[in-house]
Chains A and B, each alone.
Chain A
Amino acid sequence: MRVYLCDADELARPWSEMLSVLKDIKGVQIEYPQPVRWSEGEYQYAPDNGEGKTRIAGKSLVILHATPEIDELRKDEDEWKVRAKWLQDRDIWTLIISGAPISKGVQISDLIYRRAAKVTKDAAKPDKVFMVCLRRFVEKLVTTEKADWRVVEPDPYPPNLVALYLLLVAENRASLRELPEHFRTKLTESAMREYEEWFSDLDDAFPSHSGSEGQRKFLKKLFIRVAGGEG
């Protein structure tokens, strides 16, 4: 599968540098079609290798920036919508990355997702959480040939795990015999799944995630409560 890394981020760093995490994925061929050109009534991605224009086609993923650092495209902030539609019409998966601090991304269609990625002034500190999510998303896309956008932007927190924690806090203070058994069973099962998802490879996935210290503290308190202590 081809992955086309177009544009650059808001500090004009090309995605080819920012998204180097994709380089080692088996079955992925990365293309850097710079620059984007509007020609003959459509966008074409012309590489600078002198071999002529390469058109994006077939099973491929295109990663665009919402506001690319390309003069001819900066005239209109909504330009990405035009480009996304062009790709949508050709059944091409498209991930649009925005530097704006939107709290949650938007799934525009089955084929298109728009999410924020933190842009820092220090090029050595890319958005590591995003990088991990992106790598997982592309790996899954290659294997299943289905775009699971939840992987590129998972839920902001594990609601069942947090609910289980609150339940245990409450149980420590009051008798809760009235709690429906089916609710407890379902909650515990869902919380276990979330635990696997969030914590099984925490060190690998989120080595510098700002919340990881708080998450570890939460996990420790949760374990103490599960073990019957006060936490």
Chain B
Amino acid sequence: MNALTPWNIECTGSQCGDSLRHSWLRNQVLNKSDDDILFLRQSGPWRALDLEFPLRVQETLRLSCVIADAFSPTQLFEREPLVCLPVECRDMLLTAVQEAYLEGFLAGEVRDNLRTAASKLSKSLSAMSSVWHDLSDPPGTKLLAAWRCVKCDAETLLAELEKLPRGVVLP
């Protein structure tokens, strides 16, 4: 995406994207080897798999729903100096800026790609969760196969998140 993002000005979209990329996919999923997974399974339930990952998927889907607003320059109207404008004048400017921004930002395409990748990962995580508690798979063959699917889908989602702008998109 060839968006104009000088200074990578922090916005809700960049904060959420950074967190999903760094704290979740890179440091909780993609950094785990097969041995790590087998070790974790020996230790009992994996709290992150059961509780945290589904929430992260939801977070990604929420981001996809609000993708246009998440990177919109209208967020800058809540900060100085534009926040100091009279309300009427501010609203008029904001509307014009939002229109210009939406003309150049392909929100629909970004949203669809993100949603598809998140849904796919959600399914592979569910499959992984089922196998995790399957005691008929002691060597972990099914588990590791499921884990590889998770990693593959996590890579795909990470690639989509990498395409997101790194800050407020200027029109």
Contact residues of A with B, CB < 8 Å?
A: 103, 156-160, 162-163, 165-167, 169-174, 176, 178-180, 183, 186-187, 190, 211, 214-215, 217-218, 221
Contacts and interface: CB of A to CB of B under 8 A. Distances in A.
Interface residues of B, number: 27
Given A156-B9, A159-B81, A183-B85, A170 B93 contact: yes
29 contacts: A103-B10, A157-B9, A159-B76, A159-B81, A162-B7, A162-B76, A163-B76, A163-B82, A165-B170, A166-B76, A166-B82, A166-B97, A167-B93, A169-B97, A170-B92, A170-B96, A170-B97, A173-B96, A173-B100, A174-B92, A179-B93, A180-B86, A183-B81, A183-B85, A211-B6, A211-B8, A214-B5, A218-B4, A218-B170
Contacts of A165: 170
A217 B170 CA distance: 11
B73 interface: yes
A162 B9 contact: yes
Contacts of A179: 85, 89, 93
A186 B170 CA distance: 22
A85 to B, nearest CB: 31
B140 interface: no
Interface of B is mostly: helix
B4 A178 contact: no
Given A157-B7, A166-B82, A214-B7, 11 more contacts: A156-B7, A157-B6, A158-B7, A162-B7, A173-B96, A174-B95, A176-B89, A180-B89, A183-B84, A214-B8, A217-B4
B89 A214 contact: no
Nearest to B8: A211
B6 A218 contact: yes
Given A162-B9, A163-B76, A173-B100, A178 B84 contact: no
B109 interface: no
A180 B89 CA distance: 9
Interface in B24-83: 73, 76, 79-82
B137 to A, nearest CB: 39
Given A173-B96, A218-B4, A190 B81 contact: yes
Contact of B10 (A156, A162, A178): A156
Contacts of B80: 159
B9 A174 contact: no
A187 B93 CA distance: 15
A13 B99 CA distance: 50
